[in-house]
Structure 1
């Protein structure tokens, strides 16, 4: 049984006073001691008005400047219904352009909300009305796609109720929005990273620090000027990790009655943090991913990338549980509480040991081909490495069998996809913006996520996800495209296929309704949550006929992910890393989809 601690009356009253003082900065759904989002204050369609403006925002008694939606951080919870029509009028009271992107929604590209691509943006003092049919249900969110407004408060959740009966039954639901916040000027943070990609890495090892790396591996990291502890660009204490806009000290609390079936709609709205989410002592049943139902999978923890959403079912019985969202670099965590009454708290686990990158994360561990997922254990991790150069980067050396079984934490190995182009050199620019290319990337969909291989409990992997409904498009992909996720950590440059987004960058072109196999190859040593607007991917993970559909997919270091895409939405769409500063620095491309007989092919 989980132990819990009642707060003293003085502490509880002090916390309550603080919550009342901050109430104007959080919408009703995000205030503490929440009974749940069902029936709580939300903005419902079809006509909704949203106002974007700058206001002060307080965390732990400190005040900072935020970009708010209807005066709050996070913004209001939107509640729409599948089969209806949405009409959302956004008014901009900022002194700069703004926008709203409806993350994960299938809609006309003109309503997608990407300035310079799908519309001009919303000028200061102007309004723009988004109108689109609601064609799906599930857990989603919305946020700015203008500049660096998202990390300073311009984000909020959105729930779309199904037109018919909900396939996911629950007695109560809570929306859990994870985010990160800094009181520093966000432009200043970006400039620091540009001065040195490891500027905020406060765990750099010295020569005497014990690391789980052999001498040869450490020498390779040194030769390539890479840091095995550079897991995240920015962590604590520069960032404060929030749950529904509340810090760990403020302790957002969601209420429940013992034995209830509680649905947690978990959204990673952080700008720069991938989270590891768990509730110690309480199993999590995953029932939806990125808004769409999946076959239930019971786990104890899951990694959630920026832009991903997961719906979880829990059945709590003890008086209180701690919800923990630990940053991927384990420098800090977001903490909240599930409890039967306000004021209860459960023990908060300590931060776990900081993960360390290995040769496997560099895409150079040949032993992992055909081996189970887990920590690399090669006797010679450098065997077969090609140390030649191609524009200053290491060339690809394709594996003899890149689709060998790699079962990891559960599920079947993925089927062999159509053969990809066998290339021993790269055909994209590899100048100073590309400091390495993985010599032997592997399929890591059976991995739980960076730093989670050695956990004693069950951790979700992509290999375990299976769509609840059969896939609609069962066609074999007509062609295959390899897309490399590239960068230079030392210079803090990010790109796709060696190129940053610019007017001169050639878009990825698809014919309307074309069936395509995409292989995303991560040539960097950071996990990239890749998001394609206006579409879902099918993650090729061995669940034939029930491949999970996702709009955002984490691509682990030194790995590739195979995705099936049906290009069924004409228009110009953004495709980018959802680590905001990576996108801001150029890891974004345009996807153009046109009819076969249309213009611009």
Structure 2
């Protein structure tokens, strides 16, 4: 990447609409769209999207609502919608071949599920996701608290990269074996996407909902022009607000920040690369808040999570293997979990409902992986043995080992996979069953 590649920071791809629908049925249509990813005056990009835009519409509901969405497939491939991070009933999880049949072109599928947890989530295709997400089939899903925090603006910021030609055409090769066997499909253009109609004031208190929607890239991000705290990860509130510091978001991970605007020029999102910092986007600042808040930033209300039975937790091992420079990888089995590439007939484990497990996840590869668990959240266990934050996706670096502690209380068959989506396509996936 070079500086020319990042000169598109002044506007969003589209002012994606907010959709407050709660219990009302909502039509979500996958279809071809045209997006202005490059700066105005450069070429537009033919992509996929929902309801005429990419990202798709921002859906909003209240905690405890039942969402009813009719998905209409207007593209020329089978598709489906996964509601990432939502602890929903298994039949609505959106995984073709596991929880539902694929939605054929020109047909529909009705989703209906309760949203038990407030927080920042997102939705995306889960059929040929390594291609369909890269082409734009995703959008934010925001579940609001009964008593949301007092802020002047609540802003969703989606961070993505794209592989484009000089005239803005999206480069194909979604099943490139070199990408799949290395770090994944990396784009040569990147930016932060947000509602570009927003202008902030010095002294405003804002809630920033950061979502990494890329298919492979880990984004080290610095948010400039604000002073505040991180208050949630992957939708789950932190027990106490924490300093923001250096933010690292793996694909599919989220962070909520509540902060006060301190800059006069703008609130920026800076991508820290090996070549130096690059601006991904700037929310302009104009004027001064006449009565800025003086109160401390408080913790969000916790979601109701089942307490883990630490003393009686069963111990399991999940080993990541394969990839480039591995002796076990082949063209047919690039990535493996415990020696198995791709889905097996037998589950990784069958859990009794409510059973707690401590899973030791070992990365015996040369690359980082973001491991996502469907239908559940888990604690990242800290080196001292204490229970860390709740996540639904954990980033594990090369030769790194991490324990996760999870209460498997959601009945059904659930997917577990790397959210570097080319890695998933090339074998890094398994499944488990909760009785």
- TM-score for the superposition, normalised by structure 2: 0.83
How far apart are the structure 2 equivalents of 1:52 and 1:110?
20
Indicate the residue corresponding to 2:400 in structure 1.
Answer: 559
Q: Does 1:85 align with 2:66?
A: yes
1:566-599 deviations in whole A, cap 9, x for unaligned? 11011111101111111111111111112xxxxx
The alpha-carbon deviation at position 326 of structure 1 amounts to 2.1
Q: Does 1:473 align with 2:418?
A: no
Indicate the residue corresponding to 2:119 in structure 1.
Answer: 138
How far apart are the structure 2 equivalents of 1:555 and 1:546?
17
Residue number among 14, 24, 34 corresponding to 1:26 in the alignment: 14
How far apart are the structure 1 equivalents of 2:109 and 2:62?
22
1:336-368 deviations in whole A, cap 9, x for unaligned? 1132249xxxxxxxxxxxxxxxxxxxxxxxxxx
Residue number among 98, 102, 106 corresponding to 2:83 in the alignment: 102
Indicate the residue corresponding to 2:368 in structure 1.
Answer: 527
The alpha-carbon deviation at position 318 of structure 1 amounts to 2.2
Residue number among 316, 326, 330 corresponding to 2:271 in the alignment: 326
Indicate the residue corresponding to 1:416 in structure 2.
Answer: none
Secondary structure of the residue aligned to 1:583 is helix
The alpha-carbon deviation at position 265 of structure 1 amounts to 0.5
The alpha-carbon deviation at position 322 of structure 1 amounts to 5.0
Indicate the residue corresponding to 2:191 in structure 1.
Answer: 242
How far apart are the structure 2 equivalents of 1:265 and 1:245?
10
**Distance change (3 Å), C-alpha of 1:472 and 1:569:** closer
How far apart are the structure 1 equivalents of 2:340 and 2:194?
36
Secondary structure of the residue aligned to 1:73 is coil
Residue number among 322, 329, 343 corresponding to 1:502 in the alignment: 343
The alpha-carbon deviation at position 500 of structure 1 amounts to 1.3
Aligned 1:105-504 pairs, distance under 5 A:
105-147=86-128, 148-162=131-145, 164-166=146-148, 168-183=149-164, 188-191=173-176, 193=178, 197=181, 232-235=183-186, 238-244=187-193, 254-280=198-224, 282-294=226-238, 295-321=240-266, 323-326=268-271, 333=278, 335-341=280-286, 472-476=306-310, 477-490=312-325, 493-504=334-345
1:294-351 deviations in whole A, cap 9, x for unaligned? 1111133210111111001221132223523426666885511132249xxxxxxxxx
Q: Is the 8 A contact 2:184 2:421 kept in 1?
A: no
Q: Is the 8 A contact 2:181 2:335 kept in 1?
A: no
**Distance change (3 Å), C-alpha of 1:66 and 1:469:** closer
1:494-553 deviations in whole A, cap 9, x for unaligned? 221122113546533222211111111111122211110000001112798864211111
How far apart are the structure 1 equivalents of 2:428 and 2:205?
40
Indicate the residue corresponding to 1:511 in structure 2.
Answer: 352
- Show structure 1 runs of 5+ residues with no match: 1-14, 30-40, 199-231, 247-251, 343-464, 595-601
**Distance change (3 Å), C-alpha of 1:67 and 1:321:** same
Q: Is the 8 A contact 2:184 2:422 kept in 1?
A: no
The alpha-carbon deviation at position 165 of structure 1 amounts to 1.7
Secondary structure of the residue aligned to 1:119 is coil
Q: Is the 8 A contact 1:273 1:328 kept in 2?
A: no
**Distance change (3 Å), C-alpha of 1:320 and 1:505:** farther
**Distance change (3 Å), C-alpha of 1:192 and 1:331:** farther
- Show structure 2 runs of 5+ residues with no match: 1-7, 288-298
Aligned 1:540-559 pairs, distance under 5 A:
540-541=381-382, 547-559=388-400
Q: Which has the higher strand share?
A: 2
The alpha-carbon deviation at position 159 of structure 1 amounts to 0.7
**Distance change (3 Å), C-alpha of 1:144 and 1:76:** same
Q: Is the 8 A contact 1:197 1:233 kept in 2?
A: yes
Q: Which has the higher helix share?
A: 1
Q: Is the 8 A contact 1:241 1:333 kept in 2?
A: no
Q: Is the 8 A contact 1:277 1:323 kept in 2?
A: no
Larger Rg: 1
How far apart are the structure 2 equivalents of 1:242 and 1:51?
25
**Distance change (3 Å), C-alpha of 1:468 and 1:161:** closer
Q: Which stretch shifts more, 53-62 or 475-484?
A: 53-62
Residue number among 34, 45, 64 corresponding to 2:22 in the alignment: 45
The alpha-carbon deviation at position 27 of structure 1 amounts to 3.5
**Distance change (3 Å), C-alpha of 1:470 and 1:330:** farther
How far apart are the structure 2 equivalents of 1:126 and 1:281?
46
Secondary structure of the residue aligned to 2:134 is helix
